[in-house]
Every structure is written in structure tokens, then in C-alpha cells.
Amino acid sequence: MTPFAAAPDPSAAGQLALGVVLAAAGFVLLLPKPRGRSVAGGTAALLVAAVVLGLWSHRSFGDPGADWVEKGLFILFSTGAVGFGAVLVAQRNPARGAIAFAFVVLSTCGLFLLLAAPFLMAATVIIYAGAIIVTFLFVLMLSQAAGPSDENDRTREPLLGSLAGFAFAGLVLFALQHNHAGAAPLPAATLTADEKAKLADVAARLEPLAADDFYRPDVPKQGRVAQLNAIEQEVGPTLEKVVGDSPGRLEGYAAAGSIRERLGAYRTDTQARTVLARAAAVRDAAYPALRAVETAVTEPGRGDPEGAKAGIRRLRDEVRLLSGSGELPARNVGNLGLVVYADYLLAVELAGTLLLVATVGAVAIAHRRPATA
Amino acid sequence: MSEPLGLAPAVLGLLLGATVVTALMAGAPRLRRFAHLPLVLACAASAGLAIWIVIQLSAGTPAYRSVPVTWFAAGNFAASAAITIDPLAAVMLATVTFVATWIAVFSAGYMRDEHGVPERGYARYFAVMGLFVFSMCGLVLADNFFLLVAFWEGVGVCSYLLVGYYYAKPSAAAAARKAFLVTRLGDTGFLLGIFLLWKLGGYHTDLTVLFEHIRTHPPDTGSLTTACLLIFCGAVGKSAQFPLYVWLPDAMEGPTPVSALIHAATMVTAGVYLVARCAPVFALVPDAQAVVAWAGGITALLAAVIALTQTDLKRVLAYSTVSQLGYMFLALGAMGAVSPVFAVTAAIFHLFTHAFFKALLFLGAGSVMHAMGGVIDTRRFGGLRRIMPVTHLTFLCGAAALAALPPTSGFWSKDLILEALRDGAETTHPYAGGLQALLLIGLVTAGLTAFYTFRAYFLTFWGQTRVPEEAGHHAHESPPVMTVPLLVLAVGALAAGAVAGPLTHSFDHFLERTPSLQQAATAVPGAKAPAHAFDWGLAGLSTLLAAGGVGLAAVLYAKGRPEKVPPGLEPVVALSRNKLYVDEVYEAALVKPLTGAAVAAGMFDRFLDSFGRLLASAPRLLGHLARPVQNGLVQFYALGMAAGVVVLLSFVAFRIAR
Amino acid sequence: MIPVWHYLVVAALLFGIGLVGFLTRRNLITMFLCAEMMLQGVAINFAAFARYHGNLHGQAVVLFILAVAACEAGIALALFLMLYRRGRTLDASVWQALREVGVPPTVDPDPLPAADPGPPDPVLTPAGRRPAPTAEEAARV
């Protein structure tokens, strides 16, 4: 059995293998050593490998996106991260390596921004900026290399090390390619873009129902009742469609593909199930909320405008959450804090303890003992 | 928690806590001077609690048993951590903690030099002593054979540590080892006996449940006798009975208060207590009773004969302990002939009074030793009654009690034992004739006891005042911290027997409510119940013998003349002085053959080893080939790790991905 | 929106390059930076999956990665300082005393090239005659 027999597209797998081998060869040439180092050859091999792998990525996973700005930024940051990473590894001078690592971190932060993680971007910049400055100080303090030195001008097992590292990366990429072939983007399929737009529209139209004006007795009832009915006409069928289809959608997932894929679908489907359950809840809550509003409008004596308004607000929030499902919330820091301190409280405490212990340990280790010891 | 069931764990907790605190104090040099305080306070508090338990038991329910908690279990074997409190245990608990309290107080004075500076290891001494008392209390309270064994071994370990307290001294280290190993010999039998009893008793390990099971499903007498004899082995080892008594006289290498503790309360009484605790089983098998009785009788006579000529004050006392323990086993051996309640009461009553006067005597000897600068040989001092009046008077009280002169407590308890033997000899029991002979032995031993006790007393305190040069110029009475315990124990030695025994009969009334003894009594129907009437004839005879012994000792030794061997008695004296050559016999009969066997086993072992080495050379060769991989370079190891991950990942990607 | 796959590719490459550096470079500080780069790759993975699943759990894990990386930096730099004090070098291959008994130490085969002396120092032409030392100065020397 050849390894490529497992791949859905043998020629793409071959392309991947070519890129990985080229990259490994480039590093073998580029790594500092007393004899046989070729900067030009290594750089060329790495550039070719980058092009080959980029083409492979485009071929296997498609175009990064329709948005040119996003695409350009992604390409900029990812080539930046990978390229400066290569510089860090191949650079003889550790001080320059530290600068290259700073650029790696900045590129990573750019990718974090593209991934809607601004807080992580900020935290990484802050923490690594400090770490890199400290590292830089260490380099200046400890390695005043006047000439070639063992640690900077030699490498340990360049061939085996490069092969191991890129065999690892290549296998991961191969597994990605393989999995991409049969995978479906899960949460996106639960609600289509059209449905999401409709739900957002509904949320906007529910807004006036929560206002005080809507319940003023001096406004004619007919207009308001008509408005109410229109909303109901809109909300009901949309939700009915989402929820009513849902068993079919889930079945559709599960029925397609091999046992393994079905298992995968089942495992990763928790989010889809949550969305559907939420949609069902909204559908069930919509009718009584709207009825309460109708009662409050048509029979001012019997109805309870305050209760109706509260019900409408709850419904509106639920619809908004539903329409935004599959997207990250806008308030990144607040929601991240909520997740960290609600779901990962123990882990936070442990991480804090770990930091404390590490601080004590670092002080204890670096402490200069008296000469008698 | 003022229930007895709550108080008993409190006793254990107090003692263990004191141990821990003292052990911690050993680490703080400033606190070491006060290391005696936790133990003294804990012992006093637990003695108070134990007496409170006794009061509660005598007024209310006679026995409590804690809910058993499973300690460990495997198959149909389950050991539970359960404690029981009945009058037997309560009496032991009260005796142990009370005597230990005063010994601890005495130790606080004894373990210092004349300037009041504590010895090295002061805190260690008190920590181990706390553990010792704790283990003994746990042993007394345990209601499960395996819990009992745990505490039993705890007592053994602590005795090892305390006897070997002066571990730098080779003789002390050897004595500690001897004490430990000889008792281990008995413990082997004890463990086997427990396993046999476990099998016979329906695979229960809880004492109460096991005895109940044996009562309802009686096993065949042969195996039950075997089990009883094996258990008695443990008692023989721990209680220093013939033939395993050899460790106890050597155990005086430890500090003198430790001897007091071992002899009076905490260690050697464990064997007596064990047999008393197992009375429901022993009552069923007359053969085992006969063995117990004869072992006790032989030990009593043998030890008394050896004690006649010893010149070391502590050694005399040590052999007297062995002899008195023999008395207790004599009483226990009469279990089938008279009512077990009667026999056990007699034994435990003697244990109770013996605890007072033996602790007193040892502490008195310790006081003498303290004043004489560590010298304890009676040939090198004499006439100390003028120098140490308090020690002299209290020692006299103890000696009178040991010699069983009326009306000291020893008289009443020894009388009860002889009475039990006499009553047993009058029955139709199969071993009644033997009991007759044992009664005779008991009477002879009583006379001998009086003689050697007062011989030691006269040699120490009468005659010309002589002081060894080790004592220097400061041969004086001991400080109050040592004399007060002597006084308290002297009062006990004089009065405890009369108060608890013939005056109120509270001791036997209290003890006979013990459920296990009641159960044992039902096993021996028609046996004679204890007669509360006082037997003037027997008491008079034993008093006469004791008085004769005292008189003879006074005639021979009161003037302080050097010892003269009467003509014609030289071989007997030599026999006694050399301890009947028992150690030599053991050396020839046991140690030499065992050493030879060990050498042979060593040679066989070396043969096996060389075979094993041959087998081991193959993997060693393989190891030589793989060795260079271990080259000490971190990055090489990381490379190996990465390669391993790559292999694993390729398996995942190419095989599982399909 | 860029699909998650592209981020995963970048993350895998970053991890692989960091691994190569960690395995081959001998300067302890460079090794440390390469290990941090591997952590960056993992962090990108987590952030991408957070985006993909539409929740914040992945980002929370990245926060913990940051905390652990900070601990690691503190301890690692303290250890480097210790090692430097002992061996006056940052070379990781110096520390191979824990090898198996009887295995010869690993030595580097090729000699290092000689240090480039750089351009020679400028030499000024002497300005005038050199004064002869006085008798007092000569005696002092």
C-alpha cells in the first residue's frame, strides 16, 4: 500500500510531499554549520516550497475567501508568521532571532484579529512584548559572541531534525486534506444566511412592540393590530420552517457518508442541536407573547402592558441570539471573561497557582548562593 | 460525647496527640526541656477519663461496642476497626493510664542530671513513651483480632525503642533486639492461632462476633485446643513466660522508668489480658487450661529461684515480675476448674495490684540508681535508709506488697489466686490433681518471693552506709518530682487491694458483669463461683510462709554483712546465680544450630544467585547494544520523541484515516 | 470569512518550523524561542476552532496557554542563568553528563572557522620625535 492510496486526491498528496521535502531540504541547507551551509540554495528551496505549499493549500481547501481585504491580510500575516519563523530558526545571531520572533508574534496577533479575538491579540502583544524584551536582555547579557561559537554556528542533527519536524507538519497537513474532503461546515448549515437575515428583521420589527407608545389608548387600535398580525405572519412561518425542517436536517447529516463521518457529525452536532432547540423555544414563546400584546392593546382594562412589554423584550433577545448563532459575539472581552470565570474557574485558579509557584521557583533557581554551597 | 464510647477514642486521641506534639517539640531546641508536659497532661487526662468510664460502666450498661468500620477486606476475610468497652477493658485502661501518669511524672525528674538539665533524647523518650501507652490502650480497647495485633506490634516496637534508648550502648542495643526477637517468636504462634481461630469462628475477626459464633457453632476440641495454644504462644512471648521469659530481665538496659512501665502496666500484662479476653474460648478446652496453668506455675517457681541470688536490684525485680506473671497465668489456668469469672477476676486483680507495687518498686530502684550515679549492684552500696528516707519507706511498702504481707494489696490478690487454685483442686475436674501440685508450687513461691524481696531490700537499705564512688558527694534523696509518684503509688500498693477487694468487693462485682466472662461462665456449667468468704486457713498459711521468708532474709542480711553461702548449698546457689543456665541452653540448642543452618542457606543462596546472574547476562548484552542511545543530549532525546510522534501520527493518518 | 482550514495549515507549518528549530539549534535561548513559536501555532489552532464553532472556549484555552507560556519563560530563563553561571556558555550540548556509563561523550566533528578579524585598526603616523625618558622616569620604570 502506498501512503497516497489513502488520499482522496493522490496528485495533491504528491504536491504536499514535494513541498514538505523541499522545505526540509531548504532547512538542511540553511541551518548554520561549519561546512556545507548554503544560504542562497536554502532560501531558494524554501521559497519554492512555500509556493508549492501555497498552491497545494489553494487546491485542497479552496480560495481563502471572497473578501479581498480579508484575504490580503490573511496572506500577509500567515506568510509573515511562517517566514519570520524560518528566519528565527535559520538565523545564527540569537539577537536577530529574537527580533524575528517578535515579528512572528505580531503576525500571529494579526491572525488573532482576523479570527475575531481582539483580546487575545492584546494579551499576546503585552505578554510577549515583555517576554521578548527580557529574552533580548538575556541575549545581550549572556552571549557576547566575538566570533563563531558552538551554540550559534553548529546545529544538532540538521538532517534528522528537519525531516522529523517536516514529517510531522506534513502528516498533519495530510490529515487535514483527508478530513476536508468529507467534512461539512456544521454550524453554518443549521441556519441559512437567508433565514438569519429574516430573523434579524423580525428582531427589528419587534422593537416598537416593547415601546410605551404602542400601548397608548388614544392611538387607534386597528393599525397596531395590523402591525401585530404582520409580525406574526413573518415570525411564525420562518421559525416553523427552521424547526420543522430540523429533524430532516439532522437526518441528512447522519445519513450521509460512512459510519465514521456519521459519528463525527453526531459528535460535532451539539451546536446544531442547541440552535434548533433554541429555535423551537422561540417558536413556542412567540405565540403567548404576541397574544399578551394583543390583549393589552385591544382590552386595555384586562391586559397587562408591562408584562407584555417584558415578554416582547425577552422574545426579541432570543430572536437576536438565534439570528446570530454561529457567529462570535461582538463584546469579545466581556464574553470571554464570562466564559473564563464561569466555565473555567477551577482552571483559572490553578493557572494562578502555577504562576505563583513558577515565580517562587524562578527566584529560587536564579538566586545566587553563597560560595560555600 | 460523655458516653463511654465517645470517651475511649478520646483517651486514644489524647495519647496519640501527646506523642505527635512531643515529637514535634523534639525539633525545637527551646521546647525540649518541656517535652514531658504533653505526655503527663495527656496521661492524667486519659486516666481521669478512664476512671470516669469505670464509674459509668459500674452504674449503667456493662458493655459498649462501637460500630465496626471496615479496615480492609479481601474475599471472605474482613478486618474491621472496632473497639469495645466492658469492665475488663475499663479496668485495664484505668490501671494502665493511672500508673503511666505517675511513671511519666517520675521520668520528668529521672531523665535529667543533678542540675536539672535534660538528657539527650529527652523528647524522643517521651514521644515513644506516649506511643507506648497509646498502643497499650488501643490493645486493651480493640475488638478485632487484627486491630489487636496492630497495637500488639506497636507495643513491641515501642518496647524495642525504649529498651534500646541508650542505643550507643552495645548491651542496650542487644537487649532491645533480644526483646523484640523473642516476642516475635511468640507472635508467630499468635498470628497462626488467629488464623486458625478465624477459620474455626466462621471467618469472623471481630472478637465479640467470633466468640459468639464459636459458642453457637462449637468446633471440634482438637483444633480449638491448637488455636488456644497458638494464641497462648503470643501471650507467653509478650508476658515473658517460660520458656520465652529470657528477654524481660535483659530489658532493664533501658531507663528505669521504662522498666517500671514495661513491668507494671503496658507490656507484659498484654499477654495476661489476651488470655483473659479470650476466656470464652479457653474455657472450652481443658487441655489448653492445663498448659496455661503449668506454664504459669513453672515460670513462677523458676523465676523465684533465679531471683534468690541476683545481686542486681533491678534484676531481682525483673525476675519477680516474671514470677508474678506466672501467678496470673496460674489463676487463668484454673479457668475450667473454677468459674472463669472467678479465675479471670483473680488474675486481673493480681495484675491490678501488681501494677501498683511493681511500678513503685521499679521507680524506687530508679530513685536509688539516680542517687548512686547509675550503680544498681547491691554489693556496692548499702544502708541507704538514712540517706534516702522517702525512697526507703516507699520501697518498704512495695516490698511488703510483693511479699504479700497482710494487709497490703499484694496479700489480697495473691490470696485470691491461691484460693482459686484450692477451689479448683477440690473439684472433679480432670486436672484437679495438677492444680493441687500447682497450689503447692504457689505456696513455695510465695515463701521464696518474700525471701528474695526482702533480701534485696535489706541489702540496699540496711547495714553500714556505703555509697559507690560514681555517686560522688551528692548521694541524697531524690527531688519531689520523683518522690511524689513514689508516695502516691505506695498508698496504692498498700490500700488499693483492700479497698477494691475484701472491703467492698467492688472489683469482682464490677468485673463479673463483663459479657465475655459471662459467656465463658456458661461454657463451664457447675463450676464453682467465687466465694466472697475469706479463707483464714489458706491466708494464714501463706502469711506464715511470707513472714518466714522475711524473717530469714532479716536474719541473714539485715546486718549488712557480706553474703555467705551456707555449706552444702553451693551448687544450688550457683544454679540460681547463673539463671539455671537457661541462656546457655538456648545458645547451644537454638542459636548454634540456627547459625549453622544460616551458613548453609547462605551457600545455597549464592549458588542460586550465580544461576540468576547467568540468566541476567542476556538482557545485559542487549542493553550494551542499546546503550549509546542514552547519550545525555537533551536535543537527541527530543528528536527521539518527535520521531515517535511522527510514527504515531503516520499510523493515524494512513491507517485510521482510511 | 476565511475557512478554518487555512488557519490550520498556517498553524501546522508554524509548529513544524518551531519543532525543527527546537530539535536542531543549540543555543538555549533560540531553543526557547522556537518552543514559544510552537505554542503560537497551537494558539492559532485554538482560536481558529473557536471561530469555527462560534463559541469562546477555544479562546479561553489560549488564555491558559499564555499563562503557562509565561510560567515557562520565567523558569526557563532562570535555568539558563544558572546553566550559564556554571558553564559560561549557552550551548545545550555541553550538558551531557547524564549519559549512560561507558558511552563516550559526543564531540563536534568539524572545527569552527576562525573568527573574522575584521578590518585592521587604523594606525596614525607618529607626530614628531618620541621624547627620550628622563633619568627620573627611567628609574621609576
The ipTM value here is 0.83
Interchain pair C6, A78: CB under 8 A: yes
Classify residue C82: in a domain, yes or no.
yes
Q: Is A371 inside a domain boundary?
A: no
> Which residues of C fall within a CB distance of 8 Å from B638?
22-23
pLDDT (mean) for A277-302: 78
The amino acid at residue B315 is: R
Q: Is residue C119 part of a domain?
A: no
> Which of the pair, B175 or A241, is modelled with greater confidence?
B175
The pLDDT of residue A295 is 81
> B428 CB near a chain C CB, below 8 Å?
no
Q: What residue of B is the nearest CA neighbor of C99?
A: B632
- C-alpha span between B82 and B67 (Å, rounded): 6
Q: Does A188 reside within a domain?
A: no
Domain boundary among A152, A181, A210: A181
Sequence-separated contacts (24+) of B168-177 with Cβ below 8 Å: B169/B253, B171/B253, B172/B253, B172/B254, B174/B250, B175/B247, B175/B250, B175/B251, B175/B252, B175/B253, B175/B254, B176/B251, B176/B253, B176/B254
C48 versus B69: which is more confidently predicted?
C48
Residue B64: beta bridge partners?
B85
Instruction: List the beta bridge partners of residue B65.
Output: B84
Task: Examine the domain organization and report whether A75 and A42 are in the same domain.
Answer: yes
The length of chain C in residues reads 141
Q: What is the pLDDT of residue B532?
A: 57
Q: Bin B404: left if φ > 0, else alpha if -120 < ψ < 50, else beta.
A: left
The arithmetic mean of pLDDT across residues A336-345, rounded, is: 88
What is the three-state SS of B201-214?
A: CCCCCEHHHHHHHH
Whether residue A186 is contained in a domain is answered as no
B453 within 8 A of B399, measured Cβ to Cβ: yes
Chain-chain contact of B635 with C19 (C-beta, under 8 angstroms): no
Looking at residue B420, its pLDDT comes to 86
Query: Does B531 contact C at CB distance below 8 Å?
Result: no
For B640, nearest residue in chain A (alpha carbons): A164
Of A139, A160, A181, which residue constitutes the final position of a domain?
A181
* Contact between chains at B635 and C92 (C-beta distance less than 8 A): yes
Residue of B nearest to A3 (CA): B654
pLDDT for C34 equals 95
The DSSP letter of residue B377 is: B
pLDDT tens digits, residue range C45-72? Answer: 999 988 877 778 899 999 999 999 989 9
Q: What does the pLDDT read at residue B1?
A: 45
C116 falls within a domain: no
Residues A246 and A177 in one domain: no
CATH number, domain of A263, equals: 1.20.120
Residues of A (318-347) whose Cβ lies below 8 Å from C: 325-329, 332, 335-336, 339-340, 343-344, 347
- Residues C48 and C7 sit within 8 Å (Cβ to Cβ): yes
Q: Are residues A201 and A308 in the same domain?
A: yes
Percent of chain A topping pLDDT 90: 32
- Nearest-Cα distance to chain A for C126, in Å, is 30
Count of C-beta atoms within a 10 Å radius of residue C122 = 5
Q: Which of A250-254, B180-184, B341-345, B427-431 comes out lowest in average pLDDT?
A: A250-254
Residue B490 distance to chain A (closest CA, Å)? 59
CB contact under 8 A, B657 and A161: no
Q: Which three cell numbers stand for residue A276?
A: 434548533
> Does the residue A261 lie in any domain?
yes
CB within 8 Å: C13 and A89: no
The CA distance from A135 to A115, in Å, is 28
Q: Within a domain: residue A372?
A: no
Prediction pTM value? 0.58
Residue B319 and residue B402 in contact, taking contact as beta carbons nearer than 8 Å? no
pLDDT digits (tens, 9 = 90+) for B326-360: 999 999 988 878 888 888 888 999 999 999 999 99
- Between CA A54 and CA A61 the distance in angstroms is 10
- Burial pattern A163-194, b for ≥16 Cβ within 10 A else e, equals bbbbbbbbbbbbbbbbebeebeebbbebbeee
Calpha distance A142→B390 (Å, rounded):
79
C106 is a domain residue: no
3-state secondary structure A245-264: HHHHHHHHHHHCCCHHHHHH
In the stretch 581-610 of chain B, residues with CB closer than 8 A to chain C read none
Say which CATH number the domain at C60 has: 1.10.287.3510
**Chain CA centroid to CA C32, Å:** 6
Mean pLDDT on B133-148? 92
pLDDT of residue C135: 84
Q: What is the rounded average pLDDT for all residues in chain B? A: 86
Residues of C in Cβ contact (< 8 Å) with B646:
none
Asked whether the predicted pLDDT for residue A262 surpasses 90, the reply is no
Residue in B90, B125, B94, B96 with CA at minimum distance from that of residue B110:
B125
Comparing alpha-carbon positions, the chain C residue that sits nearest to A340 is C60
C110 touches chain B (CB under 8 A): no
* Average pLDDT in chain C: 88
Domain limits at C75? 4-90
Instruction: Take residue B457 and report the three cell numbers written for it.
Output: 531490700
A203 and A303 co-located in one domain: yes
| Residue C112 placed within a domain | no
Residues 6 or more apart whose CB falls under 8 angstroms from that of B272 comprise: B235, B239, B325, B328, B329, B332, B347, B348, B351
Residue A188's pLDDT band (boundaries 50, 70, 90)? very low
User: Distance (Å, rounded) from C-alpha A28 to C-alpha A22?
Assistant: 10
Domain shared by A57 and A122, yes or no? yes
Cα–Cα nearest to A141, from C72, C77, C34, B634 = C77
Domain that holds residue A354: 332-366
- Note whether B620 contacts C: Cβ–Cβ < 8 A: no
> Based on the domain organization, do A141 and A206 belong to the same domain?
no
Chains touching B (3+ CB pairs < 8 Å): A, C
Q: How many CB atoms lie within 10 A of CB B604?
A: 10
Q: Is the separation of the CB atoms in B140 and B89 below 8 Å?
A: yes
In a domain? residue A130: yes
* pLDDT greater at residue A88 or residue A286: A88
pLDDT at A53: 94
In angstroms, the separation between the Cα of residue C116 and the nearest Cα of chain A is 7
B485 or B115: which leads in pLDDT: B485
Residue B236 or A184, more confident? B236
- The number of folded domains in chain A is 3
Owner of C-alpha cell 470517651: B7
Same structural domain, A223 and A276? yes
Which tens digits make up the pLDDT trace of A218-232?
777 777 778 778 777
Chain B residue with the nearest C-alpha to that of A180: B657
Q: How many CB atoms lie within 10 A of CB A227?
A: 16
Give the model's pLDDT for residue A373.
46
A168 and A104 in a common domain: yes
Q: B546 near B405, Cβ under 8 Å?
A: yes
Amino acid identity, position B201: G
Contact A138, A144 (CB under 8 A): no
What pLDDT does residue A245 have?
Answer: 55
Taking residues B173-186, what's their average pLDDT? 89
Residue of B nearest to A175 (CA): B653
Confidence (pLDDT) at A45: 95
Peptide bond into C117 cis (omega under 30): no
User: Is residue C107 less than 8 Å (CB to CB) from chain B?
Assistant: no
Gap between the Cα atoms of B575 and A299, Å rounded: 124
Alpha-carbon distance A110 to A88, whole Å? Answer: 19
In this predicted structure, what is the pLDDT of residue B265?
77
Q: Which residue of B has its CA nearest to C27?
A: B635
Most confident of the following: A133-147, B39-53, B462-476, B566-580:
B39-53
Mutation choice for C interface testing from B631, B636, B637, B645 by most C CBs within 10 A: B631
Interface with chain C: mutation pick from A21, A51, A106, A120, highest number of C CBs within 10 Å: A120
Asked if C106 lies within 8 A of B633 by C-beta distance, the reply is yes
Assess if residue C8 is contained within a domain: yes
Domain boundary residue among A148, A181, A214? A181
- For residue A165, the chain B residue with the least C-alpha distance is B642
Indicate if A93 and A142 belong to the same structural domain.
yes
Asked if A231 and A340 sit in the same domain, the reply is no
C25 vs C31: CA distance, rounded Å: 6
Which band of pLDDT confidence, cut at 50, 70 and 90, is reported for residue A160?
Answer: very high
Binding partners of A (≥3 Cβ pairs within 8 A): B, C
Same domain for A88 and A164, yes or no, is yes
Q: Which residues of A touch B651 (CB under 8 A)?
A: none
Which region among A271-280, B396-405, B435-444 has the lowest average model confidence (pLDDT)? A271-280
As a whole number of angstroms, the distance between CA A172 and CA C14 comes to 12
Do A286 and A246 share a domain, yes or no? yes
In the predicted structure, residue B580 carries a pLDDT above the cut 80: no
Which residues between 155 and 174 in chain A have a beta carbon less than 8 angstroms from any beta carbon of chain B? 156-157, 160-161, 164-165, 167-168, 171-172, 174
* pLDDT cut 70: percent of chain C above it: 99
Q: How far is B635 from chain C (nearest CA, A)?
A: 6
Query: Structural domain tally of chain C?
Result: 1
Cα–Cα nearest to A248, from A225, A271, A276, A226 = A276
Residue B528 has pLDDT above 70, yes or no: no
